Amino acid sequence: MSTRVLIVEDEPEFLRRFSEAVTADPALHLLAAVSTGRAGRALLEAEPVDVMLVDLGLPDMDGTELIRHAVQRHPGCDCLVVTMFADDAHVMAALEAGATGYLLKDATNERITGAVHEVRAGGSPISPSIARRVLARFRSSPAAASTPPAAAVVATSAVPSPLSQRETEILQSIAKGFSFETVGEVLGISQHTVVAHVKNIYRKLAVHSRGEAVYEASQMGLL
Amino acid sequence: MSPAGARGLVALLLLFAVATARGLPLAPSEVQVLVGERTSLPADDDPSWQPAQAPDARVTPVAWYRVAFDAPASAVDQGWMLYLPYLYGGGQLWLNAQPVTVVLESRADLRVRWERPLLLPLPQAALRPGRNVLHLRAVSAGEPGIVFFPALKVGSQAELQGAFDRRFFVVRTLPQVTLVAGVVVGLLVVSIWWRRRQEVQYGLFGLAAILWALRTTTFIFDLLPAPLWPLWRMLYYASTGGFIAAMALFTASLTGRFDRRLAWALAGYVLLGPLLYGLGGERGDALVGRWWVLGLVPVGVSVAVFSFTAAWRERTPGNALIAATVALATLAGVHDYLLASGSTALASRLPEWSGDRIFLLHHAANLMLLVMGLLLSARFVHSLQAVEHANETLEARVAEREREIATSYERIAALQREQAVQDERQRMVQDLHDGLGSQLFSSLMRAERGALDSAAAAVTLRGAIDEMRVAIEALTPDDRDFRTAFGNFRFRWDQRLRDAGLEPSWRVDLPDAPLVLSPDLALQVLRVVQEALTNVLKHARATEVQVGLSHRAGELELDVIDNGAGPAAATQGGRGLANMRTRAARLGGRLQVEFGRPGARVVLAVPLRAT
């Protein structure tokens, strides 16, 4: 069964480029290629989607909003954010919304389809500075040290356990600039396992961010 | 001194003395005196007997007094006593021609001066109801050869004991207390002055207290071996004059008029008295006692006038207190002088008071010492507070100054940071201008004249995008750690090299501590590596590439090794090599290119201190 791909990108050139790359791969099935967030959301409701490629700068809504929607309503859907420079701020926003990977806009066709396969296979790439930011994000978590009444609220909204020892080690090594290969060698695991861990970390980050939002909302009396 | 003034002084100073002068049980009904030397009791019919009063004062070495009194019948059973407020030179007592007692007189080897009152029991056998006669031999205590006869009283012990005790307290116990207190306080204050010589007041006050204590010994020793007498007398004069002079100087100093010449002049006058006495003996004693002591009175009076003027000009409680005390002491001094010299002026106006012969300067001086001590301690406390205040002010100013310095340091640091940011920005603008800018412009020119096909345009644009990416990588890390920037770079290029069919390997040999480089330096270094890798991709036709980064001995070393075409590739990548050399030179580093067969090795070494 081929992987069903949805592309949401407002620039026609890139839309065409991504569509071509996906259709060229027999293992992938291009479900649709749309240029607005609303259309993307409608499609998500209408059809099951395996992988969604999303541009952050959509005309009608923020890409992170669409990612958040997809992750919440369709847990089986992997979201890859499409970014021009893979700069930290954009990537982090997408990861916190629930994206589990990212793609550069000028990526070659092989890279595009490679990334889709990779994320389906359970792995995600991560750059050192993103690793550093993710670590920082977990460290500054207020949920871990919350007061009892707030903890009760947070507990009902399924706040994640903190990162496992192994995940923290991986992030720390990557943040120091070690390659996946080296990290795998040092920890005695395959490179494949490393990227699988990274995808897990991304998932935790998204849940953690949501938990934090809930926590903050409860602190402000909104819940 | 006016009689009213004297009465006021009496009322103010010594209420206890008044008690001794009233309520006496039985005064003599008749007093007679016989002036002249007699070895034994003169006969009653001696023609030299003359009527007299009690009290009485005669300029003579010896005088006999005959006193008659009427005793009630009960007196014999009660056991009567005779109360003598004073009998300075000693003498003998008979009751109805029977000897009662002998009070030691001065001898060749002994000098007496009885300051204490006497309470003598009258023998029961000699006392009889009705008229009794007492005979008293009274001797002069020496200078100035005057016999003082007191207003004696007879009565029961119950009636007389109180008067005796009061007078004993005033003339004996109080001086003893003064002696001890004066020496202790004086030594303490002098020890303060010893450590702080500029505080003359402490020295003067301490000196005054000690001198006064020495002078007080006059009232404490009734008997003195004759050889010591002149010395003691000199000490008496020196301490009296010295005390008055020290107090005068102290007052002057307190009101800010201390004068060194005045101090020497007073010291000279004070020493003159004991000196005259020492040279002139008994005659000197009379001279000193009458005239030298008189010279001290104007010193006291002028001090009083002076302190009154000061109090008038500057009306502080302290000045007023000084003035009042000094005035009081001066009046007491004048009073004592009149009393000691046996002046009739005082005796005729205040017969009862002067008959009691209570010397006042002694007590006024105690009061004066007390007041001066209080003022001095007030000044001491005040100066302590002033020091505390000064310390607080100083601390506040130091803190203020520290804040100012900290603020200006901050400002300087901020300016320096701003300057550094400006410089950095300037370098980057220059870099964008020379690199990406010229690249885009030349491509534009070529495209406009139709000399740029789509493949070449894609290459150019990809180059431009790479430029931007490397810039973002160099500038993004929040921590400025080059390891992060290089990691991001490696992350991007690893994928790219693999996609191009190359087998990349990365070798990073950096210390654990963050490697902080300026953004510009980080950018330049990454560009050189990017250029080298681009060359490998474009021209080398290699299958493997090795990138190494190490830091040792203050140098950052980067090398890119491939297994490609070697020198053949270099001719095509000539432009890139030249660029890399220029950048290396700008960083103060060096670029080495070695060609093998196959492959090439590009090494960049950059000194980190040079940035």
Confidence category of residue B570, pLDDT binned at 50, 70, 90: low
Contact B205, B251 (CB under 8 A): no
Give the count of Cβ contacts less than 8 A between chain A and B: 52
**HSE-CB for B418 with a 13 A CA cutoff:** 6
Strands A101-104 and B30-35: unpaired
Give the phi and the psi of residue A104 in degrees, each rounded to 5. -85, 145
- Chain A residues with CB under 8 Å of a chain B CB are 85-88, 106, 108, 110-111, 125, 127-129, 132, 174-179, 182
Smallest Cβ–Cβ distance between B472 and the set A85, A106, A176 belongs to A85
Element counts in chain A: helices (H) and strands (E) = 10, 5
Instruction: Determine the pLDDT at residue B540.
Output: 73
- Say whether pLDDT at B97 is over 80: yes
* Min Cα separation A46/chain B (Å): 35
In angstroms, rounded to a whole number, what is the distance separating the alpha carbons of residues B285 and B510? Answer: 106
Most confident listed range (B109-113, B260-264, B302-306, B403-407): B403-407
Coil, strand or helix at B590: strand
B484-534 per-position pLDDT tens digit: 888 888 888 888 888 888 889 888 888 777 788 888 888 888 888 888 888
Instruction: Please report, in angstroms and rounded to a whole number, the separation of the first and last CA atoms in chain A.
Output: 43
Query: How far does CA B36 lie from the centroid of its chain?
Result: 65
Smallest Cβ–Cβ distance between B491 and the set A85, A87, A128 belongs to A128
- Say whether pLDDT at B443 is over 50: yes
In angstroms, rounded to a whole number, what is the distance separating the alpha carbons of residues B529 and B558? Answer: 8
Look at phi and psi of residue B15 and say left if phi exceeds 0, alpha if psi is from -120 to 50, else beta: alpha
**Mean pLDDT of all residues belonging to chain B:** 83
Cβ contact, residue pair B487, A125, below 8 Å: no
Please state which of the ranges B63-72, B338-347, B381-390 shows the lowest mean pLDDT: B338-347
Cβ contact, residue pair B479, A86, below 8 Å: no
Cβ contact, residue pair A176, B492, below 8 Å: no
CA-closest candidate to residue B334, choices B374, B299, B376, B310: B299
How many other C-beta atoms are found inside a 10 Å radius of the C-beta of residue B542? 24
Please state which of the ranges A60-69, A81-90, B110-119, B574-583 shows the lowest mean pLDDT: B574-583
Confidence category of residue B571, pLDDT binned at 50, 70, 90: low
Report the pLDDT averaged over residues B78-98: 90
* Min Cα separation B484/chain A (Å): 6
Contact B567, B528 (CB under 8 A): no
- Chain B residues with CB under 8 Å of a chain A CB are 462, 465, 468-469, 472, 476-477, 479, 483-488, 490-492, 494-495, 499, 506, 508, 510
* Min Cα separation A118/chain B (Å): 13
Residue B82 pairs in a beta bridge with B120, B154
Chain A contact set for B491 (CB, 8 A):
125, 127-128
Instruction: Determine the pLDDT at residue B16.
Output: 45
**Probe site for chain A from B436, B467, B484 (most A CB atoms < 10 A):** B484
Instruction: Determine the pLDDT at residue A217.
Output: 63
Chain A contact set for B469 (CB, 8 A):
85-86
CA-closest candidate to residue B425, choices B503, B563, B523: B523
Looking at per-residue pLDDT, the higher value among B338 and B300 belongs to B338
Element housing B553 (H / E): none
Report the pLDDT averaged over residues B354-367: 82
Give the phi and the psi of residue A26 in degrees, each rounded to 5. -65, -25
* Min Cα separation B606/chain A (Å): 20
Instruction: Determine the pLDDT at residue A28.
Output: 93
- Say whether pLDDT at B234 is over 50: yes
**Mean pLDDT of all residues belonging to chain A:** 82
- Say whether pLDDT at B479 is over 80: no
Helices (DSSP H) in B288-316: which residue ranges? 293-313
Smallest Cβ–Cβ distance between A179 and the set B465, B472, B494 belongs to B494
Sign of CA dihedral A31, A35, A37, A42: negative
* Min Cα separation A41/chain B (Å): 31
- Say whether pLDDT at A26 is over 90: yes
The single residue listed with the structure tokens 């992030």 is A171
Rg (CA), chain B: 56
Confidence category of residue B25, pLDDT binned at 50, 70, 90: low
Chain A contact set for B463 (CB, 8 A):
none
Most confident listed range (A183-197, B29-43, B587-601): A183-197
What is the DSSP code string of B114-180? --S-EEEEPPTTT--SEEEEEEEEEE--STT-EEEE---EEEEHHHHHHHHHHHHIIIIIHHHHHHH
* Min Cα separation A179/chain B (Å): 7
Instruction: Determine the pLDDT at residue B506.
Output: 87
- Say whether pLDDT at A155 is over 60: no
Cβ contact, residue pair A129, B476, below 8 Å: yes
Chain A contact set for B508 (CB, 8 A):
177-178
Prediction ipTM score: 0.74
E strands present in chain A: 3-8, 28-34, 51-55, 78-83, 101-104
Chain B contact set for A174 (CB, 8 A):
487
Give the phi and the psi of residue B516 in degrees, each rounded to 5. -90, 120
Confidence category of residue A153, pLDDT binned at 50, 70, 90: very low
Report the pLDDT averaged over residues B580-584: 83
**Probe site for chain A from B436, B465, B488, B508 (most A CB atoms < 10 A):** B488
Cβ contact, residue pair B487, A127, below 8 Å: yes
Supply the pTM of this predicted model. 0.49
* Min Cα separation B483/chain A (Å): 6
